Structure 1
Amino acid sequence: MITLASAVPPPVLLNGVQLASQNSVGQSFFWDLVGRLWYVCQRDITTADEERILVTRLTADGDVVDSMHVERAGHGANIGVENTGGSVFLWTDALPNGHWASALARIPYVPGGTVNASDTSAPAATITFHRPRPSGQVYRVSATVDPTRRELIYRWQSNDVSSDKAVGGIDRYALDAVVAGTYTPLATLPFPASGRTLQGYTSLGDHFYTLYGLPNAESRVTCTRWDTGEVVQDEPLTAFPTVVSREPEGLCVYEIAGAPANLAFGIAGGASGARRFHAGRFPHPETNAWVPIAYDTALLAPNGPTYVPQYRLAGDQVHLHFSLDRVDKAAWASTAKLFQLPVPARPNRTQRLVGVVSGAYVTGQPLTVRLEVTTDGWVTLYDDRGFKGWIGADVSFWTC
């Protein structure tokens, strides 16, 4: 179970990124554990087609890679991504009834492509439709994916009303069975009228998580056990408090190397024409394994096999460990960049670190150097002595 409450601000994953369209807020999002890319879904409102949604693909840093349109789809309330054998499929709204989906669509992601999610005559290579429950009996359906178990999570309502008044349920299905057209729920949770506006949901392992809230109002996250239906956490979410027109939008499974799967949440904001999307993760409550960091082996060499650059997450701290020498044994230059940390291990502001150096070349001088790690992840040396030998950092850390 993920701990939803924390004494420290949740670490930032995306901060004010621009999507393919700046005219509407992000409605939902998904982190592809295999491809290491974000997929953000927003309503792409036009005069001709108010049910069109736009899916933007982003790098881990938040740079736009490409996008795809899904026309005649729905609201884009939730999205799932399936990465199978190198092919990526979107699970989105389909066959809208009153601007809300009545079925699900499984669509191959095509950069720059456009698919009509109401075209039931389209070939299966373009789109397949899925109705885990008969369309005439459910309303405002949506889905996401638990990538850690390859399960499709399907939400449905038995009444066609807003989510705060809705009653219905959430089903779990084996994803591969749904793809094959078999719809046998592994479990079902009730979705009672709560008085809260649903803004996102996901499943991770034995628990189901929901995100509630309205623009410029309180946001809350909940955790429910799949086996008993018991709500075991119900916590306020106060991240990104300064975002203009702040609105909670989206919840998904998130994972990086060296740490167990966690959850990410989305916050949208900004005025029309200048919309931005933000995302954070909930804290990791435990100390995780050391993860190697890539470095230029033509320029740098570790001072022994146990000193290869590496980091680990310990709660919301990032620990750094390394000892490096120049391959050519030349003197170090100030502002030399050693290596770049991955996004989740980068600080929110530049951090100054104290490193140690070999005593062979700096006898009589302090055996320390100043290092900095910047918000783009580069660990950089600042020392004008031009010394030779290794640089180490054994216990450096910061809060991400």
Structure 2
Amino acid sequence: MIRLDSAVTPTLLSGATLASQGSVAQSFFWESFDQYWYVCQRDITPADQDRLLVSRLTADGVLVDSMHIERAGHGANIGVERTGGAVFLWTDALPSGGWATGLARIPWQKDATVDASDTTAPASVVTFHRPRTTGAYRVSATIDPNRRQLIYRWQSNDIKSEEGVGGIDRYDLDAVVAGTYTPLATMPFTASGRTLQGYASLGDHLYTYYGKPDKEPGAVTTLTCSDWATGRVVQDVTITAFASLSDREPEGLCVYENSPGDPQATLAFGFSGGSSGARTFQAARYPHPGNGTWTEVPFNTAAFVPNSASYKPQYRLSGDQVFLHFSLDQIDGKAWASTQQLFQLPLRARPNRTQRLVGVVSGAYVTGQPLTVRLEVTADGWVTLYDDRGFKGWIGADVSFWIC
């Protein structure tokens, strides 16, 4: 279970530009194999037709491409499935009154348009799924990537989420794809009085995200954790991240993994910001309380060589900290230069402000001075040397720093 009382919420995206700046994000999903964000918006146009626009972003929030899903619904939640080399979206489908009555499974096709109500379309374009064929309104879905389960929310009354009554089901994802809809568990819910802005499942727990735009009276953003086995709420906390945003509105919740099946998986939650016509998207994550595995970091092998295989640049996440381990020498044997960049950490391991570190050097061509060196890790992840002595030899570090 992810502890939601942590004061540390490292920023993952800030001011990201989506394929349209005319509407807020509704939901999002992190696909850890390719390291892409999929962000779903309602594409508001005069001929809207319940159309959704899904933007695909790099880990750093750079827009790669997008896809239109026509006659879909509200986009309250979205799931992304990776099977083999293919990626599939799980989105709203077959809308009634602007809200989905079914689900569409759609192969990702950049810059394409797919009709999520065209039941005559071939399976290579879209397939439809209705796990509950009767008495289910305002349906939506996401995916628990660690357990490869489809998480399906439905209401028994066609009314806003504050007053909604219904349930959230868990299904084996591959069974659903094959057309078998046998719930593994159902968590019922009653009227909460809160506006649902997203939900995600991670292992034994379901997380629900509530809130309204800051400009609305009584706006409070909260995140709740419930036990799948008992349905009991075990955590319910207030989210204060991105407090300075204009038109701040909570939007979207998903599982955040470093890589597929990551035992250190945690949660990412989103906020929209900016005025109409200039909308942006931002996301933060909760830290995981445990220790991650040591992960190698790419470096310029034409310029640097490690002391040995065990001294290749590596990092490890441990709760709110990043641990760094490396020892490198220059292949050309030249002296080290101040402000020289060694390697760049991935987004998930970067600080949100520059961190100063103390490293060690071999001491070649350095006499009468301490064999230490100053390193800095910049906010964009570059591990950078700051030393004017012009020494030669290896430089190393076994250090840690807060990422908050």
**TM-score by structure 1 length?**
0.97
How many residue pairs are counted as aligned between the two chains?
A: 398
Amino acid in structure 1 at the alignment position of 2:195: T
CA contact 1:268–1:278 (8 Å) conserved in 2: yes
Between the aligned partners of 1:315 and 1:266, the Cα distance in structure 2 is: 20
3-state SS of paired residue (1:164): helix
Between the aligned partners of 1:385 and 1:224, the Cα distance in structure 2 is: 57
3-state SS of paired residue (1:294): coil
Asked if residue 302 in structure 1 is aligned to residue 286 in structure 2, the reply is no
Structure-1 residue corresponding to 2:351:
347
Matches within 5 A, 1:112-261: 112-134=111-133, 136-216=134-214, 217-257=219-259, 260-261=264-265
Segment of structure 1 superposing worse, 265-274 or 353-362: 353-362
CA contact 1:39–1:55 (8 Å) conserved in 2: yes
Following superposition, the deviation at residue 50 of structure 1 comes to 4.4
Q: 1:332 aligns with which of 333, 336, 344?
A: 336
Between the aligned partners of 1:185 and 1:315, the Cα distance in structure 2 is: 34
CA contact 1:44–1:50 (8 Å) conserved in 2: no
Following superposition, the deviation at residue 295 of structure 1 comes to 1.1
Structure-1 residue corresponding to 2:92:
93
Deviation string 1:142-189 (CA, Å, 9 cap, x unpaired) is 000111111100000010110000100001111111111111111101
**TM-score by structure 2 length?**
0.96
Segment of structure 1 superposing worse, 53-62 or 378-387: 378-387
Amino acid in structure 2 at the alignment position of 1:383: D
Following superposition, the deviation at residue 354 of structure 1 comes to 2.0
Following superposition, the deviation at residue 372 of structure 1 comes to 1.6
Following superposition, the deviation at residue 370 of structure 1 comes to 2.0
Matches within 5 A, 1:371-390: 371-390=375-394
Structure-1 residue corresponding to 2:13:
14
Following superposition, the deviation at residue 110 of structure 1 comes to 0.3
Amino acid in structure 1 at the alignment position of 2:182: T
Structure-2 residue corresponding to 1:292:
296
3-state SS of paired residue (1:137): coil
Between the aligned partners of 2:190 and 2:400, the Cα distance in structure 1 is: 48
Between the aligned partners of 2:44 and 2:256, the Cα distance in structure 1 is: 29
Amino acid in structure 2 at the alignment position of 1:328: D
Deviation string 1:242-296 (CA, Å, 9 cap, x unpaired) is 1111111111111115761111111111101110111111111123222111111
Identity %: 70
Following superposition, the deviation at residue 191 of structure 1 comes to 1.6
Asked if residue 73 in structure 1 is aligned to residue 89 in structure 2, the reply is no
CA contact 2:364–2:391 (8 Å) conserved in 1: no
Deviation string 1:276-318 (CA, Å, 9 cap, x unpaired) is 1111111111232221111112211112333221111121111
- Which ranges of 4 or more aligned residues in structure 1 deviate by more than 3 Å? none
CA contact 2:264–2:291 (8 Å) conserved in 1: no
Segment of structure 1 superposing worse, 255-264 or 310-319: 255-264
Asked if residue 44 in structure 1 is aligned to residue 43 in structure 2, the reply is yes
Following superposition, the deviation at residue 399 of structure 1 comes to 2.2
Between the aligned partners of 2:396 and 2:241, the Cα distance in structure 1 is: 35
Amino acid in structure 1 at the alignment position of 2:44: I
Following superposition, the deviation at residue 53 of structure 1 comes to 0.5
Structure-2 residue corresponding to 1:3:
3
Between the aligned partners of 2:52 and 2:304, the Cα distance in structure 1 is: 47
CA contact 1:354–1:396 (8 Å) conserved in 2: no
Between the aligned partners of 1:350 and 1:269, the Cα distance in structure 2 is: 25
Matches within 5 A, 1:258-297: 260-297=264-301
Between the aligned partners of 1:321 and 1:201, the Cα distance in structure 2 is: 36
Amino acid in structure 1 at the alignment position of 2:211: G
Between the aligned partners of 1:44 and 1:354, the Cα distance in structure 2 is: 50
Between the aligned partners of 2:243 and 2:41, the Cα distance in structure 1 is: 22
**Unmatched segments (≥5 aa) in structure 1:** none
Between the aligned partners of 1:79 and 1:231, the Cα distance in structure 2 is: 23
Amino acid in structure 2 at the alignment position of 1:397: F
CA contact 1:319–1:398 (8 Å) conserved in 2: no
